[in-house]
Amino acid sequence: MTQRVIIAVESGIACLRLNRADKRNALDLEMFKSIAAAQAEVRRRGGIRAVILQGEGADFCTGLDVSSMMSDRKAMIRLLWKWLPWQANLAQQVSVGWRRLSVPVIAAIQGRCWGGGMQIALGADFRIAHPDASFSVMEGKWGLIPDMGGTLALRELMQRDHAMRIAMTAETLDATAALAMGLVTELSAGPEQCAHQLARLLSQRSPDAVAAVKRLYRKSWTGSEGVALARETLYQWRILAGANQAIAVKRQLGKDIPFKL
């Protein structure tokens, strides 16, 4: 069995590549477990400033490996089981887990990003897609609903009627339509190179500020205005109490001082 997810870390940037090109990176149980394990590895490792998520071969991910998963009842139970209703099960973890990392996650998307693949990409903070990429919430074709946690992102990114339409119809969107709907951050003929450029830019900023912005916007994009204002102030006090804010000022003044990680 090939290694389902390959992790390479260089200069503080972790590149995670779905490694099942012969199956168009389709999701079997081992792929689900490997993605969750890769997320845990990023959390454990020190010094990582950004994550780039890619798929090996021509496609990012074509969704669930139906022949593998639907024929194995035990695998489906392991995928959907959770102790508490509000916790993420393994199926949801492969999307939600990216949101819960403190560092920014960038998905570089080529080819097909369908079904579970689209749910995984929705967990990223940024999605950079090739103009020839395509997107689809495929679950509707199988008489299912999207249940891998992508709903958390869709409610932030899209109008409700557009989200309902793509989930109900399972239609395929080209990259231009996905960009117009908010599913994609930007288009690039070289999504991997563009993702690395963004990752390097983010790594030049204070890790405290980058993490706080991600946490603030994830928690406060919807909900009470008062709570959002309170979080802004609380997070700012925490940043001011740390060393990296002063380092950021010195770096802007031309001093080459590394951030504390």
pLDDT in tens, 190-234: 999 999 999 999 999 999 999 999 999 999 998 899 999 999 999
pTM: 0.94
Tokens for 22, please give them. Answer: 């012969």
Would you list the DSSP string of 19-75? --GGGTT-B-HHHHHHHHHHHHHHHHSSS--EEEEEESTT-SB--B-HHHHTT-HHH
pLDDT in tens, 125-147: 999 999 999 999 998 888 889 99
| pLDDT the model gives residue 2 | 62
- Domains of the chain and any CATH numbers: 5-202 (3.90.226.10), 206-252 (1.10.12)
| pLDDT the model gives residue 153 | 93
| pLDDT the model gives residue 1 | 47
- Give the number of other Cβ atoms within 10 Å of residue 180's Cβ: 11
Q: Of the candidates 195, 101, 95, which has an alpha carbon nearest to the alpha carbon of residue 137?
A: 95
3-state secondary structure of 127: strand
Which segments of the chain have a pLDDT < 50?
A: 1
